[in-house]
Structure 1
Amino acid sequence: MPESRCLLFSLWTALCIAGTGHVYPVMAQAEDSQSETATNYGADRPNILWITSEDNGVSWVSCYGGTNANTPAIDGLAEEGFRYTHCFDNAAVCAPTRSCWITGMYGISNGTQPMRSRNLIPHDQIKYYPDLLREAGYHTSNPGKTDYNIGGREDKACWDFKGEKGKLPYGWKYRKPGQPFFAVVNIQDSHESRAHGSVDNVTKDPAKMKLYSYHPDLPVVRKNYAKYAEAVERMDAKVGATIEALKQDGLYDDTIIVYNSDHGGVMARSKRFLYASGVHCPLVIRIPTKWKHLYPAAEPGTTVDRIVSFVDMPKTWLALADADIPEQFQGTVFLGDQMEPAPKYHLGFRERADERLDNVRMIRDERYAYHKNYMPYAPAGQHLAYLWKAPLTAAWEQHHREGKTNEITGRFFRPRVSEEFYDNQTDFDNVHNLIDAPEHQAKISELKKALREKQLELRDSGLMPEKMRERRAAANGITIYEMVRDENLYPLERYLDVADLALERDPAHLDTFVRGMSDEDEAIRWWSVVGLHLLGKPAMASTDVLRNGLSDESHEVRMMAAWTLVKLGEPDDALACLEQLLFEGTNNETMLHNVIDWMGEPALPLVKSYVDQGKTREGRYGISMFGRIAELNGW
């Protein structure tokens, strides 16, 4: 092995952290680990090494045209393998994404789409893909990040090698001799946290950074890009060292190597958002010559243009291992003897991230993307504590507050429209919304129809506020997964219909919303009050109905009715309702705090009273919403 590569491998193995904070000595070996050659393996099934990095989209990888960071290890893998050009994450943030990976199911189908919700699923019905690999005789390992966002089972329980102090993170070392392996190596060096902190001592040249068009060109923005580019290069070095470890053990020619990031990122408006910078991910796969019948294209070093969604990955790994694939798996096999026809569309979803509520669906083909914003009254750029730890985000917001942003750089901080449509071929940054362009109406109609069909197929659980669906499932003693498959408990078509009417903002639907406010189903009442809210002034005729909504059994309906009345110039009873919920208790505190923040100035006295009473200003990931409001107002 060349001296430089030996040094790289030694540095990585000496310092590698496999998600537990442990430092691993260079020479650590498992008792039953041994260097093996291809002759030790059965000839029928490949080993699989899955290398995942965190938070870097395609724009940060040089073989995808990125110029900010140099990624020679990933580029080298692409030269020997196949580079997929249309690989997309389904969820744009880690925990919902990893829920999708471990179950092979869309989070919206399980109720696991809100960040760190850890909702229960019926584990007797839904298996994790490592369970099935183990049943097929594979040794499985994942000593690093899990974050599966599912309750009722320990994340690590499905893996053979879970990580252990004093042991290397290369799980293949701990299998039985000759046993085929499936090993995950997760590399954290490109995680969002590496963009936090001071940007004063970057070594890369900020002037050479290529910025997304939605970011203002400020010195701190360029420095933050440079800081993160350095993190990406450290990640790439560990990709190279992991591959070198495989070679040292004589396994390179017996192992399919997969590299991809866990979603896009990482500068604000990428991670957590369904725009291209948040979901378009690198995917590179190297297949040894002995398995060339599995090649997805004529020869290594070429590209593959089919759509690959993250939900496809676990099903594909099972197919490569010739393992059992239960019907629960909702993806498409994209590689190997069992390869299925490429899907026509990719579906993405976004709901609560940390303390901030949102609800978006996106469906796209190779070129065009349609976005439906189910909470358009909330700006995309609402303050989120963890996101604001990057100096870029705070500087961008301050630039906007000073009135210095333009139509493109300022849109992030404004309320949204109900629908967006982008041509990703000419507008990767997704800054030119073509939803009203006459020449695209046929494609928009096609994608809207496909989205609805997919939501019905998956039983999209997001047509009800998060806490409302949790309450309904709990009241019936079942999981959200089971609840949304019961038409009596979750009439999805009806919810989709009324939600669509609400998002149209058409005064012709006023009477429908007024009638809906007295429906026995609180989810219909929710969408009806949202419809009235989005109508604005035409909803003045419904103020009596909205006042009745202030005493609705559903606290979510009360909150939205109160905000709507304030917007219509009827604040007294509305603010009293919110004050009661704030100080006497609510079953949806997260939504209450979000609504009060979205309301802005009219709700400031409530926040002032809250902090004056000594209520906490801290949240799970930093300053709370109310703490932030207090900070901005000097309280």
Structure 2
Amino acid sequence: MHKLFKIYPLLRIQQRATLALAGLAFFLFFAGPSEGKSPAKDKPNIVFILADDLGYADLSCYGAKEIKTPNLDKLASQGVRFTDFYAPAGVCTPTRASLMTGSYPKRVGLHVAVLPPDTHSGLNPNEKTIAELLKEQGYTTGAIGKWHLGLLPEVKPNAQGFDYYYGMPGPNHGRSDLYRNTELLKKNSEVEYDQITQNYTKEAVAFIRENKEKPFFLYMAHSAIHIPLFASKEFRRHEGTTGLYRDMTEELDWSCGEILKELEATGIMENTIVVFTSDNGPSGVAAPPLHGGKGSSWEAGFRVPLIVRWPGHIPAGSVTGELATMMDFYPTLAKLTGAQVPADRKIDGHDIFPLMTRKKAKSPYDFLCYYGRTGQLYAIRKGKWKLHFLAPDEKWAGKQPVQEALLDTKPATPLPWLYDLSTDIGETKNRAADNSKIVAQLTAAAQAFDTVLTAEIRPAYVEK
């Protein structure tokens, strides 16, 4: 047989294969990725900025008069601002545990006070953190700043889903050493406190620059405005007893501005979700019009600012008064990135993206429980009503101005105390006597919830 006739069948097979592959490529190009399976490069970057002890009234866009926060005000004008957003605790460790796990702090066994500087406990490695969820979706994850969820290698950031860590894992910058990943950089006595915000900002900018070509999750947990109070000399302009507090807040705002500038310079601003909030209320200053401060179950201990920006998805300049909490970011970010929330455990948070994008969206919460720094159930909020079962602990709020923080309005009548937050956000008029049915309903709901939650606690990690 002639050589040409031997080759011809093979050529026909190759042609058919080529046509088939071309057809498949055409289909994939126009059909696009299947739902929930989008390529990692198409996923939004996430920058989550957490202030420390920043109060509800410490930003200009939340009513601050003597503190200037132009960068965060601009962020709010470009996204959504929440007026009824809550930390799940009045102190540091519980809130951070809740953010990482999407659960009430009590559910993960980290609801009593905070972890001390010599702790042998921490967030249980069996928990699946938000960083671990995002890593499964192709994200590079970085944590910069305060951790406060354990000091042991098995519970520090690099063991909890973060590819990179730079910061102080202990309770605050006054009682923690400085690390890069697992490497000790400086003992606490060697750390320049007035440069902490500057250094954290440089690290954050570098992380963004190095990872701009792929999706990343940056958890920026500032030391500001936690005591001891320090600010770099460029920001020392205020005087008086609260001068350093204000300086530190304005330097924090500058830091946020630098991060936003880098997102713009790298061309990834439009595809980046930026979140700004605080871990609890203020210490040493008031948060008018709210009652109390850090550590207490008054509103100023739990209610904190929240600003979220995502161009093209979240309407600019919007405001919502619907109730939401820190634990909601776990399921919310999971859904937005295609991650799967664990089905083998209870997650208390809800997807609150509808609250960010739709004016008429309603809070997914039937009620919210307030657990105090002693770990006990102190109060519950349902709709406009808030009921206190225990007197709020005011010891951790520092030396607050009594009248400005409304500390002189505590009822003389016995507990429980009931407040209508829609008309009395400062919790100054006890309405329990006139609303016994509401008191009974809220009490029953809180007790039933706490009974079930107590039975479902997942233990924190304890070194054996």
The reply to whether residue 186 of structure 1 matches residue 181 of structure 2 is no
1:446 to 437, 441, 446: 441
Name 1:367's counterpart in structure 2.
384
Distance 1:257 1:122 in 2: 27
Distance 2:455 2:296 in 1: 18
Distance 1:87 1:203 in 2: 31
The reply to whether residue 331 of structure 1 matches residue 349 of structure 2 is yes
Structure with higher helix content: 1
Name 1:129's counterpart in structure 2.
130
Answer yes or no: is the 8 Å Cα contact 2:100–2:129 preserved in 1: yes
Letter in 2 for 1:78: A
Gaps of 5+ in 1: 1-40, 197-201, 206-222, 353-357, 397-404, 463-478, 483-635
Task: Give 1:204 shift.
Answer: 4.2
Residue aligned with 2:144, SS: coil
Cα deviation, 1:97-119, whole Å, max 9, x if unaligned, reads 11111122211122211123465
Alignment of 1:530-609 (within 5 A): none
Distance 1:131-1:308 versus aligned 2 partners, 3 A rule: same
Alignment of 1:95-114 (within 5 A): 95-114=93-112
The reply to whether residue 351 of structure 1 matches residue 349 of structure 2 is no
Task: Give 1:227 shift.
Answer: 4.0
Answer yes or no: is the 8 Å Cα contact 2:274–2:308 preserved in 1: yes
Distance 2:242 2:422 in 1: 24
Task: Give 1:66 shift.
Answer: 2.7
What is the total number of aligned residue pairs between the two structures? 368
2:163 to 160, 163, 166: 160
Alignment of 1:265-344 (within 5 A): 265-267=282-284, 269-289=292-312, 292=313, 295=314, 299-327=315-343, 328=345, 329-335=347-353, 342-344=364-366
Distance 2:204 2:218 in 1: 9
Gaps of 5+ in 2: 1-38, 167-179, 186-198, 286-291
Distance 1:313 1:257 in 2: 12
Distance 2:450 2:143 in 1: 32
Output the aligned Cα RMSD: 3.6
Distance 1:481-1:161 versus aligned 2 partners, 3 A rule: closer
Distance 2:387 2:150 in 1: 27
Alignment of 1:146-545 (within 5 A): 146-148=147-149, 153-157=154-158, 158-163=161-166, 164=180, 168-170=203-205, 171-175=207-211, 178-194=213-229, 203-204=237-238, 223-267=240-284, 269-289=292-312, 292=313, 295=314, 299-327=315-343, 328=345, 329-335=347-353, 342-352=364-374, 359-373=376-390, 380-382=393-395, 392=399, 409-410=407-408, 417-436=414-433, 438=434, 440-459=435-454, 480=459
Task: Give 1:342 shift.
Answer: 1.8
Task: Give 1:43 shift.
Answer: 6.4
Task: Give 1:324 shift.
Answer: 1.4
Distance 1:189-1:111 versus aligned 2 partners, 3 A rule: closer
Distance 1:460-1:156 versus aligned 2 partners, 3 A rule: same
Task: Give 1:120 shift.
Answer: 6.2
Distance 2:210 2:145 in 1: 15
Letter in 1 for 2:251: R
Name 1:488's counterpart in structure 2.
none
Letter in 2 for 1:236: D
| Higher RCO, 1 vs 2 (CA within 8 Å, ≥6 residues apart) | 2
Distance 1:365-1:60 versus aligned 2 partners, 3 A rule: farther
Cα deviation, 1:285-342, whole Å, max 9, x if unaligned, reads 11122xx2xx3xxx311112221111112221222211111133221011169x9962
Letter in 2 for 1:241: E
Scaled by the length of structure 1, the TM-score of the pair is: 0.52
Distance 1:65-1:318 versus aligned 2 partners, 3 A rule: same
Distance 1:425-1:150 versus aligned 2 partners, 3 A rule: farther
Distance 1:360-1:44 versus aligned 2 partners, 3 A rule: same
**% identity of equivalent residues:** 22
Letter in 1 for 2:137: A
Task: Give 1:461 shift.
Answer: 8.2
